[in-house]
Chains A and B, each alone.
Chain A
Amino acid sequence: MSENLNIFVGLAMGLNLVALGSSRLTSVIRAAAVQGVLLGVLPLLMEEFHWMILVVAVLTMLVKGGLIPSLLNRAVKSANIDRDLIPLVGYVPSLLLGATGTLAAVAVAQRLPLLPAHAHTLLVPGALASVFTGLVLLIGRVKAITQVCGYLILENGIYLFGLLLLHSTPLIVEGGILLDLTVAVFIIGIIVDRIRTEFDTLDTHKLNMLRE
C-alpha cells in the first residue's frame, strides 16, 4: 500500500519539476492539474473504503483536474495572453532550485519526528517539495496566471500535509478548502481580465506603481 502511495507522491514530485521547467503557460497549467488529480487518488489508497472519502476524492479530482484548469485556460484564451512565459528566474536555475528543494525536503523529512506510520512514506517530503516549488513559481514568474499555478501547486503541498491528519480532520474541511480554491481561481480569472483591460499586459511588475 505504501509502495503505491510513494509512486503517486513521487510522480507528483516529478510534476513539480515539469512545472518549473516548462516554457509554455498551458503546460504549467496542465502540470498543476495532473498533480491535483494524482493527489486526489491518494485518500483512496490510504484508507479503508468509505463513501465519504470516495466523494471527496472524486470532487477533488473533478475540481482540480477539470474545473480549475478549464477556468485558467479560458482566462488565457479570453485575455489573449502570449503563451510563452517570461521567467524572472531562468528555467535551468529554477529546475536546479526545485531539485535542490526536493532533495532537501527528503533529507529534512528523515530527521523529523514522524509517526511510524508515516516515516517511510513520501508524504512529508512531497508536501515540503510542493510548497517549495509553489513558492519558486510565485516568486520567479512574471505573469499572473503562472502565479496562480504556483499557488495551486503550493495548495497541493498543503493538501498533502493534510492527508497526514486524515483521521482527525473531518472531510467536510477538505470540501470547504476545495470550494475556497475554486472561488479564488474564479476571482483571479476576473482580476486577470481587469488587469488586461487596464494595463494591456499581465506583467505583474507593472502593478507596483500607484496611479491617480
Chain B
Amino acid sequence: MTCLIETLLRLAAWLVVAPLLPGIINKVKAWVAGRKGPPVLQLYYDLARLWRKGVVQSTLASPGFIAGPVVGWIALLAAALLLPLGRHAVAPSFQGDVILLVYLLAVARFATAWAALETGSAFEGMGAAREVSFAVLAEAAVITAVLALAVQSDSLSLPAMLAPAGGTGALLLAAGLFIVLLAENCRVPFDDPNTHLELTMIHEVMVLDHSGPPLALILHGAAIKLLLFSVLLVEAVLPVGDLPALAGTGALVAGVLVVMVGVGLTESLLARAAFRQVPLMLTTAFLLCLFALLVAWRGAASPLPERPPPTVRLPGETTS
C-alpha cells in the first residue's frame, strides 16, 4: 500500500514539476539578454489555456492524430516513473528496466512522428524525417551512456546503476549526455524552440497542426522529457542514491537547476548550428559516451590499476 502511495506521489511530482523547467530556461535567457522575460510559471498558464480550447482536426486525419500525442505522453510519463528520485523514492524497478526506458523514449518519438504524418502535410513529414534521422545518432549516444553505467555498476536496473557516482568517466559521460539532452529536447545548437521558420524547425514542425488538449499533452510531454534527461544526467554524475534522503533530494534539485542554467546559457551564447553540423555534434556526443564506456570497462577490468612500485629500476639506469 505504501508502495502504491509512494508511486502516486512520484507521479504527481513529475506531473507538477516538469512544466517549471522551460520557465527557468526562459528566465535565464531573459536575464542574460537583460530582459524581464515571461513568468516562470508561463507554461502552466499555457497548458491551462490549451486544455480549455477545442480541437481542430483535418478531415484527412485518422484517430491516430489524437492517439499519437496521448500515446507519446503516456510513454514519456512511464519512462519518467522508471527513474529513481534519490534514495527512498525507488521506482518499480527490475533487472533490465533501463532497456524499457530506452524503448519507451523511442515509442514516444514514434507516436509524435506518427501523429505528424497523419495530417498528410509534406511540411510535417519533413519535420518527422529530420527528427527521426537525428534520433538515430542521439539514441546511439544514449545507449552507449547506459552501457557505460551498466558496465560500471555491473547491473541492469536503474536504481543500482545510478546510485554510485560516475567514477572517472563521469565528466565524459556528463558532456555526452548534455549534448544529447540539447538534441533530444530541441534546444539551441540543434533546434530553436522559439523560431517559426520552416527551414530551421525540427520538433516544432511536427506539432504545427495540433491544437487544444493534444497540443497541451505534447507540450507537457516535452517538459517531462526535459526533466527526465536532466535527472538522468545529474544521477549519472552525482551519487544521489548514496546520500541520505534529504541531502540526496537537495543534490538532485540543485543539479537539475544547474543543468537548466547551463541550457539557458548555451542558448544565449551559441547560435543555432547549420543542419550539416548536427551529425558531427551528435557523433561527438556518441564518442564522449564511448570513451566513458572505455574508462568504465578498463576500470572494471582492473579495479584500481596496481601501480608500479616507485623504486622500479629501468634497464637504462643500470647501463648509463
Q: Residues on A close to B: CB < 8 A?
A: 1-2, 14, 17, 21, 23, 91-92, 95-96, 99, 102-103, 106, 115-117, 119-120, 165, 167-168
Given A17-B287, A95-B287, A120-B306: A167 and B316 within 8 A (CB)? yes
A-B contacts counted at CB < 8 A amount to 52
Q: Are B294 and A106 in contact (CB under 8 A)?
A: yes
Name B's interface SS: helix
Q: Name which residue of chain B comes closest to A116, CB basis.
A: B308
Closest Cβ of chain B to A102, distance in Å, is 8
| B64 at interface by CB-CB < 8 Å | no
Chain B, interface size category, equals 20 to 34
Binds A, one of B181-189, B205-213, B278-286: B278-286
Q: Are A120 and B316 in contact (CB under 8 A)?
A: no
0/1 per residue, B118-135, Cβ < 8 Å to A? Answer: 000000000000000000
Closest Cβ of chain A to B173, distance in Å, is 14
Question: Within the assembled complex, what's the spacing in Å between the Cα atoms of A117 and B309?
Answer: 8
Closest Cβ of chain B to A151, distance in Å, is 24
Question: Within the assembled complex, what's the spacing in Å between the Cα atoms of A23 and B280?
Answer: 10
Top 8 nearest A-B pairs by Cβ distance? A168-B316, A167-B316, A120-B305, A117-B308, A117-B312, A99-B287, A167-B314, A92-B283
Question: Within the assembled complex, what's the spacing in Å between the Cα atoms of A167 and B318?
Answer: 10
Q: Are A2 and B307 in contact (CB under 8 A)?
A: yes
Residues from chain B with Cβ under 8 Å of A103 in the complex: 290, 294
| B59 at interface by CB-CB < 8 Å | no
Q: Name which residue of chain A comes closest to B317, CB basis.
A: A167
Question: Within the assembled complex, what's the spacing in Å between the Cα atoms of A165 and B316?
Answer: 8
Residues from chain A with Cβ under 8 Å of B294 in the complex: 103, 106
Report which of B287, B312, B320 forms a contact with A168, defined as CB distance below 8 A.
Answer: B320
Given A106-B294, A168-B316: A91 and B280 within 8 A (CB)? yes
Question: Within the assembled complex, what's the spacing in Å between the Cα atoms of A36 and B287?
Answer: 23
